A = this chain, B = another copy of it.
Amino acid sequence: MSGRGKAADEPSSHSLETAARKRSRSLAALGYTKPQTYEELRAVLSSGTVHFPKRLRQVAIFLWQHPSEVALGTIAQVAEQAGVQPSTLVRFAQIFGYSGFSDFQLLFKDRMKGSWPDPQGSPDKAGEPNVDLHFLNGMVGACQASLGRIGNNFDIAAFETMVDHLAAAELIYVIGSKRAFPVTTYLSLTLSQQGVRNVLVDNVGSTALDQVGCITPRDAVLAVSFSPYNSITPDLVAVAHERKARILAITDSTFSPLVKLSDTWLEVVEQDFGGFRSLAASLAVGMALVHGVVARRTD
């Protein structure tokens, strides 16, 4: 919000050098021009041609998933939520050719401007006097928001491809840890209940690597992973990839390490509330996958 006056000016002779040097290893070298709209930015981020180091990737993931926080917050607030230093945000913006964070933030503000949320359906709930009830409502809201996003932005083509591959597979390996584990357990359960043979790679007894070591090219892997991507899932999927199995992924951004390993992937972004993330959308998509596989196989 501040420091815009000087920032908008042409750089002085000294900072010109600095800026030029920095930009040389930035997007200009890659033939990109400064994104003028939020959609352009999103396109550049998802193109996969830019590879960020850890902290900058963290920034990319955060603003991919929480654009409204970026639009509404100050640099300090955004930095704290994203878990980085404020200066990291400035660096990120400058890599894209902006003079600083404020300049960069305008993208998000412009995108948001004019779109005022409709009067909420719930007629004010008598002010939610109870703190626990407030949290519950927030959590329900997060679930519904996650589910709502499926309605729009759903890549039905990728979904169909995934179903085809899964239906054609000899054996389906289901992989996911931490937050994704509830999703994979339900997937495995419903697949089995529908008569689709599958292996849940749950790493009980630390046998996961041995399990994926048995994968053949005729098998398919259904992997689920959410940010932060610090579980063993990518390692396991990498092995499966080497063994030439089909890799199908459900994940929450293009920055997931699963994306470059997978034949087809679906983006499912879960909202969180108070640090607790919803799983509603992933489960719904997962059930749809199971249903689709069963339908293909019984045709």
Contacts and interface: CB of A to CB of B under 8 A. Distances in A.
Given A185-B185, A186-B182, A72 B109 contact: yes
Contacts of A135: 288, 291-292
Interface stretch (A8-16, A44-52, A256-264, A279-287): A279-287
Contact of A136 (B140, B143, B150, B178): B150
Contacts of A292: 132, 135
A114 B278 CA distance: 14
> Which of A130, A136, A284, A291 is the most central at the interface, judged by chain B CB atoms within 10 Å of its CB?
A284
Interface string A287-299: 1101110010000
Nearest to A204: B204
A290 B276 contact: yes
Contacts of A280: 143, 147, 278-280, 283-284
Nearest to A185: B182
Q: How many copies does the complex hold?
A: 2
Most B CB contacts (10 A, CB to CB) among A1, A67, A153 go to A1
Contacts of A274: 291
Interface in A120-179: 120-122, 124, 127, 130-133, 135-137, 139-141, 143-145, 147, 149-154, 156, 159-160, 163, 178-179
A144 B145 contact: no
A71 B135 CA distance: 24
Contact of A147 (B140, B285, B288): B140
Nearest to A181: B185
A74 interface: yes
Contacts of A116: 67-68, 112
Given A274-B291, A283-B280, A132 B159 contact: yes
A72 B70 CA distance: 11
B118 A152 contact: yes
Contacts of A25: none
A39 B123 CA distance: 10
A291 B145 CA distance: 20
Interface string A71-94: 110100000000000000000000
A122 to B, nearest CB: 7
A290 B283 CA distance: 20
A124, A136, A186, A295: most-surrounded residue (chain B CB, <10 A):
A136
A292 to B, nearest CB: 5
20 contacts: A1-B1, A39-B120, A39-B124, A68-B113, A72-B109, A115-B115, A118-B153, A132-B159, A132-B291, A135-B291, A136-B284, A136-B288, A139-B288, A140-B150, A143-B147, A147-B280, A182-B183, A185-B185, A204-B204, A276-B287
